[in-house]
Structure 1
Amino acid sequence: MRTTSAVPLRLGLSANARQFWLLVAVNAFVGAMIGLERTVPPLIAEQEFNLTSSSLILSFVAAFGLVKAITNLFAGRLGDKYGRRPVLLAGWLLALPVPLMIMLAPSWSWIIAANLLLGASQGLTWSTTVIMKIDLVGPQGRGFAMGLNEAAGYLAVAASAYLTSVIAANYGLRPEPFYLGVAFAAAGLALTALFVRETLPYTRLEAAHYRVANAPAGATPSLLTLLREGVWRNRALASANQAGLVNNLNDGVAWGLLPVYFAAQGVPLVQVGLIAATYPAVWGFAQLLTGALSDSWGRKGLIVTGMLVQGVALLGIALLNGFVPWMLSAALLGVGTAMVYPTLLAAVADASYPTWRGTAVGAYRLWRDGGLAVGAILGGLLADALSIPAAVLIVAVLTAASGLLVAVRMPETLPRPVPSEVS
């Protein structure tokens, strides 16, 4: 009788290329779902529902960010316990009604409700594709893998943001731009259901074959323990958490306030969409380089520099005027964000043990995406009390201060794992 054995698992991008690139494609559809919201919904608030308060306009960003942050936390925990693939499937099922709700919304509360669903969906889908790629590649090349993941997502954000602005300029704000969302959600669900495989076994492989200097083995810490450690005590995780929160704080302000501000200054809708798309486009492309650089240069220097570059870019948006200066500032903001985004994810993965890494990444993404809600609330209050440029100026100072805090507190986390003996 002839017996067959399963193909042995191996860590690394080349060893798992087919699944890795499939997950890159899935994450592109995840990003495209956010791109639907980068240009058109703030204008729907102002032009269709006659909202004049910046705080009310930004409420959809706050709703999205708050729910996504909380869902991130449980996505990592559930993935560690039950597997990654079921969590990814659940996220896509939540995404299906979102574009339909926006298309048919009779009031602004429907838009907020759609963003609650979208936030939950994004927390499950984006977190899980990140963790699955970390599972597949192992400790070497982690930054490069995160750069590819985030590049795919944010290039899709940029393309979707620009396409929706073009469609809106030619056909109106609703419903035509959101037909794209129906296609994106259906494609992401189909790819996941038909072709994505479970990656949880790779975490056990890594735990068996590598000693990880930054994260001693042991029982999976509780959520409360990880959250407590990540506030201050654990210098690596706490530094990453606060930088991630501030990074997305400024993204929440840019997302909700800047399209309205640029349109109020007489910038045509297609040009507003182009500025809105430039930021995530540069962010996406640059991550192909910055993620890989963090594997050789280290994590800390890129994070500090990236936060400072973001601060300078936001100063440019606040203090300069005109389409070209704003485009250049948006591009610079994308460069700074690209230096930070995949590097922070890699740093958190460095500082966590393979068997509870999903939980640690989920806790980090709770802090990071909570920044969207904080930015939306703070930005709206500052814009209503002062002005939109003043709000952006204050956020620029906070962003630079976050980078300086990382410089003072964060240890270098780039791993130097030593393979253990394998019998």
Structure 2
Amino acid sequence: MSLFWLLAFINLLVGGMVGMERTVVPLLAQQVFGLEKGVALGGFVLSFGLAKAFFNLFAGALADRVGRRGVLLLGWALGVPVPLLLILAPSWDVVVAANILLGINQALAWSMTVNMMVDLVPPHRRGVAAGVNEFAGYLGVSLLAFLTGVVAEAKGLRPAPFYLGLGVALLGLALSLRVRETHRPLAPPRLRLVPGIGMASLLGMATNFKDGLAWLGLPLLLSGRGLGPAEIGLVAGLYPLVWAGGQLLFGPLSDRQGRAALITGGMALQGLGLALLALPLGLGEALLAAFLLGLGTSMAYPTLIAWVADQTPQTERATALGFYRFFRDGGYVLGALLAGVGPGGLGWAMGGSGAVLLLLAAWATWSGALLGRQGAP
């Protein structure tokens, strides 16, 4: 197996670490720990988002100074305890602490797989690299979200679903030991904000704001409409599955047709998906909303990464992507806070958030801020 495809498979496992929580942990909060709403309920997504955002900065800066491989291995070493903590957690505080480790795992490991895959391709193939990387990661999210829902239906919310996560973590660490270095710095680069990536960072933040809202709010919203864990797992799994698969199309398409239209079109579709979820409809309509959310995210997500990479020389690329991912993943925090309003207010929260995403798409199109250089070395 070539290094490029080995890294893609490793990122499928990285995504699986998040997927093991998508269906089960919000239901665990409600049914085991008795949390219905408020900041305490959103604490596990808040802790994840804050840790992932801040350690993105650390991961990018460190990778540009010492190389990528060591950061990848550190990310997996910190990920292995996460499913064990979720299995054994006697209180919600331990679940929140586990998600701090999960956020660090995602920041270090996912950041390195995307940087390493971009390192391995020429400038005109960055959209392909980002698309394959994100496809693999969100395929992992989807598979584990669905599988843990099925296992939870048959075996209960704990411990059986998290055994899957433990297997994923151990396999990811073992395979990462086989990875070779893709970038050896010749001199320490400057740590600086890259000018001109403000709009991309804002749109990335809005995208993960939507994802934080859906991560916590979707299971609670659908549970309140009478759906069981397996049906919720189907909806929660379809969204990242479409997100994953679409990136194989839209990442390469952005290399050929340009980045801006795909980004703004993707933001608009995400807004429409949230608006549809706000309506008091059944399983079929929830699946349609999940499809729109996934399709829109697949258009914007890898294209934003490739757009930021276009603006930056290789010596500072990991640092620049670290800054972008810091702002992007900060969106999880805002989404989780809004989702904490509880099941009764989630419909309104999703409808209002959908309108905001539609406005951002219109603003980005009107301003022309995404018409930067493409394929630069």
User: TM-score range with shorter-chain normalisation?
Assistant: over 0.9
1:316-346 CA distance string (max 9 Å, x none): 1102400000101100110000000000000
Say which of 60, 69, 85 aligns to 2:69: 85
Matching residue's letter, 1:397: A
2:367 is equivalent to residue 411 of structure 1: no
Do residues 374 (structure 1) and 358 (structure 2) align?
Answer: no
Q: Which of the residues 179, 203, 210 maps onto 1:196?
A: 179
Counterparts in 2 of 1:144 and 1:416: CA distance versus 1, 3 Å: closer
**Residue 70 (structure 1) aligns with:** 54
User: What's the RMSD between the two structures over aligned residues?
Assistant: 1.7
Candidates 352, 360, 367, aligned match of 1:402: 360
1:226-305 paired onto structure 2 within 5 Å:
226=193, 234-235=195-196, 237-305=197-265
The answer to whether the Cα contact below 8 Å between 1:239 and 1:409 also exists between their aligned partners in 2 is no
Give structure 1 stretches of 5+ with no counterpart.
1-16, 205-217, 419-423
- In structure 2, the CA distance between the partners of 1:167 and 1:411, relative to structure 1 (3 Å rule), is closer
Q: Offset at 1:401? A: 2.0
Deviation at 1:370, TM superposition (A): 0.6
Q: Map 1:7-406 to 2 at 5 A.
A: 18-193=2-177, 195-201=178-184, 220-222=189-191, 225-226=192-193, 234-235=195-196, 237-381=197-341, 383=342, 387-406=345-364
1:128-181 residue CA offsets vs partner (Å, 9 max, x unmatched): 101001111131211011110000000110000000000000000000000011
Aligned partners of 1:299 and 1:343 also within 8 Å? yes
User: Cα distance, 1:239 vs. partner?
Assistant: 0.9
Structure with bigger gyration radius: 1
TM-score of the superposition, structure 1-length normalised? Answer: 0.86
Residues of 1 paired with 2:131 and 2:142: CA distance? 16
Cα distance in 1 for residues equivalent to 2:99 and 2:279: 31
Q: 1:153 to 1:49 in 2, by over 3 A?
A: same
Q: TM-score, normalising length from structure 2? A: 0.96
Q: Determine if contact 1:306/1:338 at 8 Å carries over to the other structure.
A: yes
Q: CA separation in 2, counterparts of 1:398 and 1:221? A: 35
Q: Distance in 2 between matches of 1:127 and 1:401?
A: 29
Moved over 3 A (4+): 218-221
Is this contact kept in 2: 1:248–1:371, CA < 8 A?
yes
Task: Return closer, same or farther for 1:411/1:42 CA change in 2, 3 Å cut-off.
Answer: closer
Paired residues of 2:65 and 2:189 also in contact (CA < 8 A) = no
Question: Matched residues in 1 for 2:109 and 2:266: separation?
Answer: 26
CA contact (8 A) 1:245 1:369 kept: yes
Q: How far apart in 1 are the matches of 2:321 and 2:53?
A: 11
State the SS of the aligned residue for 2:123: coil
- Deviation by residue 1:387-419 (Cα, 9 ceiling, x = unmatched): 11001011111211222232114132352558x
* 1:284-333 alpha-carbon deviations (Å, 9 max, x no partner): 00100000100011011100100011111111110240000010110011
